[in-house]
């Protein structure tokens, strides 16, 4: 039964993807991308990946749509040019699809517990998590502790991308010097639309609360810094959409956001260095407390906090960078 | 049943190539970025599909459950999604700057201006 539901969702995914490529209105394409992400999240959930589903729903369906729309507002929402070399592209794509599909016949059966992917470190993580880290969510255990180096790297990639967007979009455009007066358009948001505004305002505190829950409950259930960062950023973006961007900047000024971007990554690094100062290796949490398991718990909570802070900061900085560009 | 299991991989292949088609054939830069994110989502789907274990449940320990799906692909993809949106944002930033300098985000117009 579940597999039939999966097949249904997968078919919808393909249809949505075709529609995204087909449509000439970029606005429609972006909205369809939101639907695509939501369907993808449902698929991840069916495939037992609760943490990933949460991330995809918050990021793909929420933040990514807003960012694309922000970019569309600056670049125009219709595609004008015709496809180039359509036939060659179709040919390449069809042949490659057939080759990949041919290759799938050699893949292990879906859900096979004997598949090579389940013979390597995966089972070891599952076996050792209760003994070495003692938290129920083994995804968080692998993310925060066993593969803490990877996650540190990912946080720095997010950090770098955020800095990159700020560099790109804070440069003054050569074509349009600072001529527009900033006070002309204060950014009204949805102030004149009563229903979305009232409902949205009611939602925001609960979205925040849920974000904090996801952040600090990540050891026990699906969640963690990446998801929480996206959810909290989404709450602030919702506030900005309802009340105008200026209002959101007054609540969380750009200077604070920049500190958040750097602070989260630094907190993560500092936990690693603290481990070294206490006589362990870099990112070795065992030495953070007298009991190794308690040390692991402290370490994971702290680095997840660092991840959450950086992700919130970067996503909001990027959002404000696009929004501010529109006013120039 | 056998074929239904393979369906996940076929959808992966088809999505991958739909995204790739948008990247190589569509002249609009935003459309290319959307294609790139479909491509990316297809890879995510492949990883998560491979991590699934028959009869298993999400890798969060609870009493009375013995079979869990593989947590490792999930960790890799979870971080990849967040990195993906950051790099997409960087791409969008570049597109916005291109629009400002070239006045267009269509490949033909940009190449025409570059040749001049």
Residue B42 sits in a domain whose CATH number is 1.10.287.3510
For residue range A56-96, list pLDDT tens digits in order.
999 988 899 999 999 999 998 888 777 778 899 999 999 99
In order of A111, A256, B14, B62, the CA distances from A193 in angstroms are: 49, 30, 42, 46
CB contact under 8 A, B44 and A40: yes
Residue A3 contacts B where some CB pair is shorter than 8 Å: yes
Residue B65 contacts A where some CB pair is shorter than 8 Å: no
CB contact under 8 A, A111 and B56: yes
B12: containing domain: 2-115
For residue range A162-177, list pLDDT tens digits in order.
999 999 998 765 544 4
CB contact under 8 A, A226 and B81: yes
- Quote the pLDDT of residue A2: 78
pLDDT tier, A234 (very low <50, low <70, confident <90, very high otherwise): very high
Length of chain A in terms of residues written: 328
In order of A29, A94, A274, B92, B95, the CA distances from A82 in angstroms are: 16, 20, 57, 21, 19
Do the Cβ atoms of B41 and A36 come closer than 8 Å?
A: yes
Residue B92 has pLDDT above 70, yes or no: yes
Do the Cβ atoms of B67 and A113 come closer than 8 Å?
A: yes
Instruction: Count CB neighbours of A210 within 10 A.
Output: 17
Please state the domain count of chain B.
1
Residue A184 has pLDDT above 90, yes or no: no
pLDDT tier, A161 (very low <50, low <70, confident <90, very high otherwise): very high
Instruction: Indicate which of B10, B38, B66, B92 best probes the interface with A, i.e. most A CBs within 10 Å of its own CB.
Output: B92
- Quote the pLDDT of residue A178: 45
Residue A35 contacts B where some CB pair is shorter than 8 Å: no
- Quote the pLDDT of residue A50: 92
| Distance between A47 CA and the closest CA of chain B, angstroms | 6
Residues of chain A positioned with their CB less than 8 A from the CB of B28: 26, 79-81
Q: pTM of the predicted model, to two decimals?
A: 0.91
Residue A192 has pLDDT above 80, yes or no: no
Q: What is the mean pLDDT of residues B32-49?
A: 95
């Amino acid at each position: 039964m579940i597999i039939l539901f999966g097949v249904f969702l997968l078919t919808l995914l393909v249809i949505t993807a075709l529609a995204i490529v087909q449509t000439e209105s970029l606005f429609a394409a972006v909205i369809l991308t939101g639907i695509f992400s939501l369907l993808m999240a449902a698929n991840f959930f069916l495939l037992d990946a609760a943490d990933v589903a949460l991330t995809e729903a918050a990021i793909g369906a929420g933040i990514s749509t807003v960012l694309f729309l922000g970019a569309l507002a600056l670049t125009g929402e219709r595609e004008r040019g015709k496809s180039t070399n359509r036939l060659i592209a179709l040919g390449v794509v069809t042949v490659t699809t057939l080759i990949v599909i041919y290759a799938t016949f050699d893949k292990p059966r879906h859900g096979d517990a004997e598949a090579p992917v389940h013979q390597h470190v995966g089972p070891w993580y599952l076996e050792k998590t209760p003994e070495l880290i003692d938290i129920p969510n083994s995804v968080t255990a692998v993310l925060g502790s066993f593969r803490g180096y990877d996650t540190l790297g990912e946080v720095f990639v997010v950090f770098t991308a955020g800095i990159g967007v700020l560099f790109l979009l804070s440069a003054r455009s050569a074509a349009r010097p600072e001529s527009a007066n900033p006070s002309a358009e204060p950014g009204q948001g949805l102030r004149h639309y009563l229903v979305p505004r009232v409902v949205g305002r009611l939602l925001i505190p609960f979205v925040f609360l849920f974000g904090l829950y996801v952040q600090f409950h990540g050891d026990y259930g699906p969640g963690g810094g990446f998801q929480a960062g996206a959810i909290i950023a989404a709450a602030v973006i919702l506030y900005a959409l309802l009340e105008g961007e200026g209002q959101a900047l007054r609540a969380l000024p750009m200077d604070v956001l920049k500190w958040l971007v750097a602070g989260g990554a630094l907190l993560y690094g500092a936990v690693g260095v603290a481990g070294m100062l206490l006589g362990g290796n870099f990112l070795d949490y065992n030495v953070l407390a007298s009991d190794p398991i308690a040390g692991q718990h402290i370490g994971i909570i702290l680095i997840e906090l660092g991840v959450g802070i950086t992700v919130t900061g970067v996503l909001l900085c990027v959002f404000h960078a696009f929004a501010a560009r529109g006013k120039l | 049943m056998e074929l239904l299991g393979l369906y996940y991989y076929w959808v992966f292949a088809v999505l991958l190539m739909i995204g790739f088609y948008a990247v190589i054939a569509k002249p609009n830069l935003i459309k290319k970025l959307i294609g790139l994110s479909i491509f990316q989502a297809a890879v995510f789907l492949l990883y998560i599909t491979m991590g699934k274990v028959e009869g298993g449940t999400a890798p969060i320990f609870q009493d009375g459950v013995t079979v869990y799906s593989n947590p490792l692909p999930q960790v890799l993809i979870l971080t990849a999604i967040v990195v993906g949106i950051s790099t997409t944002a960087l791409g969008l930033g570049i597109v916005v700057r291109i629009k400002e300098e070239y006045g267009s985000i269509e490949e033909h117009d940009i190449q025409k201006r570059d040749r001049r």
